[in-house]
């Protein structure tokens, strides 16, 4: 079967939809796009309409990514389908399908006419026996899954099991070609766990009904709290004051998980020693889980924090790396779409595939028929149309109508754009109020992180600073030019704020300098503990980045200051900058420094508007006790004379012909549920101290 050169792999998880687009380049693949859409509610949580929540999330995915005409490969969870493995006796290749069908009837616990099934054959060099994996799902569940996509106008071309997709991803990423290579992949999902044992190009799969939701339910039952609160406690167990109690509540689930893993490994190993386990899924973020499994099974347990053969460059790199632990299924689905999967099974019903094929061919039939009819019509009515095509003004009527229609579209677009802009701005302003107590802490952390790169003595005049660091390339100074934040979603469902700091500095090695000081400070002060117990968030250390690809290098123009001075001094109407005296008319229309309001005392800069004044300063009232004050109009000159602006220091910090750099520092903070026990205790201590 031919495969396209690009495909989307889409997995609908209990927490989010994960999608990744791969393009094939020979025998390798590269990522061209990806997306993670967080569900509004966890699908497995009580009283949740899973179908409606999924439909809304798919709608968000479609609004963000153009999936029209794309090749789509989707999955069903392992616990919703069947995976059985059997060894066939030595037979001729043409007899394999009949024997597999017989085996499928024996293995599948449903009537064969009520299921969709497919198989993959595993051949071992030098061994006449053939091992097959039989994958099946009831037609009812297939139709349920396809209907979810059909509601939003999507028609996937392929459907397979999630554990098969995970095997495809690990087989490609770890390059498991040799049969001597043994690797165990444990995918702990929300409701079930898939154990995949990869042996070169062959695999064995077992699914048992124990997943992350069982850990959450154990915490909820032990602490008598809601499911949502228990989920947050599970994710924060490492930094929680009640970490010991949380781990104690989950201990029975740990024991059940270990028992099932031991049973799976002992059955599938066949006497072969298994030493390495790779863990995927958010549940592996539970603190202590990897260590517990490793010690009990005497194996090395590693969490999949990054892929080896695919990645994303630029600003999305850290976000993609953070989601790697949950992207294995989507990765394997996309590999199957472009023909690089070891297991290529498709459980989409044959009649649906046939309809898709005819639907695609119909477009070509219609196009061909249209060309034939159009060609005939042109030969018959061409001369008549030519005579009627021109309007009264000599312009073709079709052109006039098309221009008029285009102008209407432009007008509609501008109206819609304006409405959307107003709506988004209003939503943004309202969102600021939701987290108004968080912003002061973010501003404070931004200032402290930049101060960590500065001199030890914060209280320092400009002259002292320039004298201490005469060479611009050695100056430990980072200037903050812009600070913005945006609310983003996370895999755990806890709100996050993506922060961006635009900075400027002179240092000769800017990225290393920012990494060693600013980024290091953010990572060291990530947790809200100790003297940071009042901070309502924690900094996600893995998201801190200095973005070297976005850095700009700027050379200060040595003629800029000289040219500005000449231009301003030659203008007769420019302000004189002498105590705000200016001319009789308070300075002309030129943007000058008259009135002393410009950053240069000579008025030779175009940063302020010149405006002198001939009014004399008011006399002091004779009787101050009566509190009588003269009413004096406030102009730029009177304001500048009473409160002059400080001298603009940029020409000293960035002298002519020197290099300076513009860089962007990004990181994310995850909001901590309030109030926290530590914060409440601290507030009580403060209140007791005051009383």
Output the CA angle 253-254-257, nearest 5 degrees: 85
Identify the pLDDT of residue 666: 94
Q: What b/e string do you get for 443-462 counting C-beta neighbours within 10 Å, with b at 16 or more?
A: eebbeebbebbeeeeeeeee
Question: For residue 164, which of 129, 202, 210, 190 has the smallest C-alpha distance?
Answer: 202
Give the three-class secondary structure for 667: strand
Give me the percent of the chain exceeding a pLDDT of 90: 41
Question: For residue 309, which of 331, 326, 330 has the smallest C-alpha distance?
Answer: 331
pTM of the predicted structure, to 2 decimals:
0.56
Q: What is the pLDDT of residues 56-71, one digit of tens each?
A: 999 999 999 999 989 9
Identify the pLDDT of residue 266: 85
| Best-predicted range by mean pLDDT (175-189, 210-224, 381-395, 446-460) | 210-224
Rounded Cα gap, residues 166 and 259, in angstroms: 23
Which overall architecture, per CATH, does domain 175-307 show?
A: 2-Layer Sandwich (3.30)
Greater confidence, 136 or 475? 136
Pairing of strands 16-25, 28-38: antiparallel
- Alpha helices by DSSP H, 82-235: 96-107, 139-150, 162-173, 212-223, 227-235
Give strand pairing partners of 501: 483, 665
pLDDT grade, residue 193 (50/70/90)?
A: very high
| CATH fold label, 435-556+656-690 | Alpha-Beta Plaits (3.30.70)
Give the three-class secondary structure for 91: coil
466 to 49, 455, 506, 508, 655: CA distances (angstroms)? 65, 12, 12, 16, 11
Which overall architecture, per CATH, does domain 1-172+327-335 show?
A: 2-Layer Sandwich (3.30)
655 to 202, 450, 554: CA distances (angstroms)? 66, 22, 12
Question: For residue 292, which of 320, 327, 251 has the smallest C-alpha distance?
Answer: 251
Cβ 592 vs Cβ 608: under 8 Å: yes
Output the CA angle 286-437-500, nearest 5 degrees: 70
Q: Domain residue spans in the chain?
A: 1-172+327-335, 175-307, 358-389, 435-556+656-690, 561-616+632-652
Greater confidence, 39 or 356? 39
Identify the pLDDT of residue 675: 60
- Token pair belonging to 327: 């992207």
Greater confidence, 555 or 97? 97
Rounded Cα gap, residues 443 and 223, in angstroms: 36
- Token pair belonging to 405: 């229609």
Identify the pLDDT of residue 242: 85
Rounded Cα gap, residues 514 and 240, in angstroms: 31
Identify the pLDDT of residue 470: 74
Flag the least confident range among 37-41, 299-303, 369-373, 506-510: 369-373
Whether residue 267 is predicted with pLDDT greater than 90 in this model: the reply is no
How far separated are the first and last CA of the chain, in Å rounded?
80
Pairing of strands 16-25, 537-545: unpaired
Q: What is the pLDDT of residues 640-669, one digit of tens each?
A: 555 555 554 555 666 666 677 889 999 999
Give strand pairing partners of 669: 497, 539
623: number of Cβ within 10 Å: 7
Flag the least confident range among 155-164, 460-469, 554-563, 588-597: 588-597
Q: What is the pLDDT of residues 619-637, one digit of tens each?
A: 444 444 444 444 445 455 5
If DSSP states are collapsed to H, E and C, what string results for 242-262? Answer: CHHHHHHHHHHHHHHHHHHHH
Rounded Cα gap, residues 137 and 161, in angstroms: 9
Count of alpha carbons within 13 Å of 525, Cβ hemisphere only? 21
Rounded Cα gap, residues 245 and 221, in angstroms: 12
If DSSP states are collapsed to H, E and C, what string results for 458-527? Answer: CCCCHHHHHHHCCCHHHCCCEEEEEEEEEEECCCCCCCEEEEEEEEEECCCCHHHHHHHHHHHHHHHCCC
Sign for the CA dihedral angle at 663, 36, 64, 46 comes to negative
Q: What is the pLDDT of residues 216-225, one digit of tens each?
A: 999 999 999 9
Cβ 35 vs Cβ 21: under 8 Å: no
451 to 69, 441, 456, 467: CA distances (angstroms)? 52, 15, 9, 19
Greater confidence, 354 or 465? 354
CA 36 to chain centre: 7
User: Do the domains spanning 175-307 and 435-556+656-690 agree at the CATH topology level?
Assistant: no
685: number of Cβ within 10 Å: 10
- CB within 8 A of 630, min separation 6: which ones? 618, 619, 621
CA 620 to chain centre: 64
């Amino acid at each position: 079967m031919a495969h396209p050169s690009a495909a989307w792999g889409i997995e609908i998880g209990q927490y989010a939809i994960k999608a990744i687009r791969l393009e094939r380049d020979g025998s390798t693949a590269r990522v061209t796009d990806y997306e993670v859409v967080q569900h509004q509610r966890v699908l497995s949580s009580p009283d949740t309409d899973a179908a409606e929540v999924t439909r809304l999330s798919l709608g968000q995915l479609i609004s963000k990514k153009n999936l029209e005409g794309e090749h789509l490969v989707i999955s069903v969870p392992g616990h919703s389908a069947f995976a059985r493995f059997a060894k066939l006796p030595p037979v001729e290749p043409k007899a394999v399908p009949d024997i597999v069908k017989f085996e499928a009837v024996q293995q599948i616990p449903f009537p064969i006419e009520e299921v969709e099934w497919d198989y993959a054959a595993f051949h071992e060099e030098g061994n006449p026996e053939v091992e097959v994996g039989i994958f099946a799902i009831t037609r009812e569940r297939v139709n349920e899954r396809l209907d979810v996509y059909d509601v939003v106008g999507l028609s996937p071309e392929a459907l397979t099991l999630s554990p098969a997709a995970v095997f495809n991803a690990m087989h490609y990423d770890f390059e498991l070609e040799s049969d001597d290579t043994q690797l165990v992949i444990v995918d702990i999902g929300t409701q079930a766990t898939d154990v995949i044992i990869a042996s070169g190009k062959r695999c064995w799969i077992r699914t048992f009904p124990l997943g992350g939701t069982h850990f959450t339910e154990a915490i909820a039952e032990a602490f008598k709290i809601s499911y949502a609160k228990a989920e947050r406690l599970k994710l924060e167990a490492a930094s929680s004051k009640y970490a010991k109690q949380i781990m104690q509540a989950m201990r029975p689930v740990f024991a059940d998980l270990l028992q099932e893993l031991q049973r799976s490994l002992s059955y599938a190993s066949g006497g072969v020693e298994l030493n390495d386990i790779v863990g995927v899924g958010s549940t592996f973020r539970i603190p202590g889980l990897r260590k517990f499994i490793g010690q009990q099974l005497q194996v090395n347990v590693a969490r999949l924090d990054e892929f080896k053969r695919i990645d994303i460059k630029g600003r999305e790199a850290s976000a993609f790396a953070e989601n790697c632990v949950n992207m294995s299924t989507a990765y394997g689905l996309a590999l199957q779409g472009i023909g690089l999967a070891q297991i290529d099974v498709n459980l989409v019903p044959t009649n649906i595939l046939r309809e898709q094929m005819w639907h695609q061919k119909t477009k070509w039939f219609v196009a061909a028929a249209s060309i034939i009819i159009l060609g005939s019509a042109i030969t018959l009515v061409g001369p008549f149309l030519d005579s009627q095509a021109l309007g009264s003004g000599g312009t073709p009527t079709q052109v006039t109508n098309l221009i008029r229609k285009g102008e209407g579209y432009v007008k509609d677009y501008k109206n819609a754009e304006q409405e959307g802009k107003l709506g988004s701005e209003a939503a943004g302003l309202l969102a600021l109020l939701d987290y108004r107590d968080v912003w002061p802490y973010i501003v404070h952390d931004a200032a402290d992180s930049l101060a960590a790169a500065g001199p030890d003595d914060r209280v320092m005049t400009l002259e002292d600073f320039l004298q201490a660091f005469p060479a611009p390339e050695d100056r430990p100074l980072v200037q903050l030019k812009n600070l913005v934040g945006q609310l983003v979603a996370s895999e755990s469902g806890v709100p996050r704020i993506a922060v961006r700091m635009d900075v400027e500095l002179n240092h000769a090695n800017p990225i290393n300098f920012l990494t060693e000081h600013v980024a290091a400070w953010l990572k060291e002060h990530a947790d809200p503990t100790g003297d940071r117990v009042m901070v309502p968030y924690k900094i996600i250390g893995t998201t801190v980045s200095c973005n070297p690809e976005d850095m700009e290098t700027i050379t200060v123009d040595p003629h800029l200051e000289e040219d500005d001075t000449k231009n301003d001094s030659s203008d007769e109407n420019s302000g004189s900058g002498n105590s705000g005296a200016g001319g009789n008319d308070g300075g002309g229309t030129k943007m000058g420094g008259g009135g002393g309001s410009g950053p240069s005392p000579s008025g030779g800069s175009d940063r302020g508007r010149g405006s002198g004044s001939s009014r004399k300063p008011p006399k002091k009232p004779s009787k101050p006790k009566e509190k009588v004050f003269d009413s004096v109009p406030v102009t730029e000159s009177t304001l500048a004379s009473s409160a002059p602006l400080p001298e603009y220091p940029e020409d000293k910090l960035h002298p002519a012909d020197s290099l300076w750099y513009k860089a962007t520092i990004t990181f994310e903070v995850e909001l901590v549920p309030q109030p926290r026990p530590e914060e409440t205790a601290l507030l009580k201590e403060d209140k007791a101290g005051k009383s």
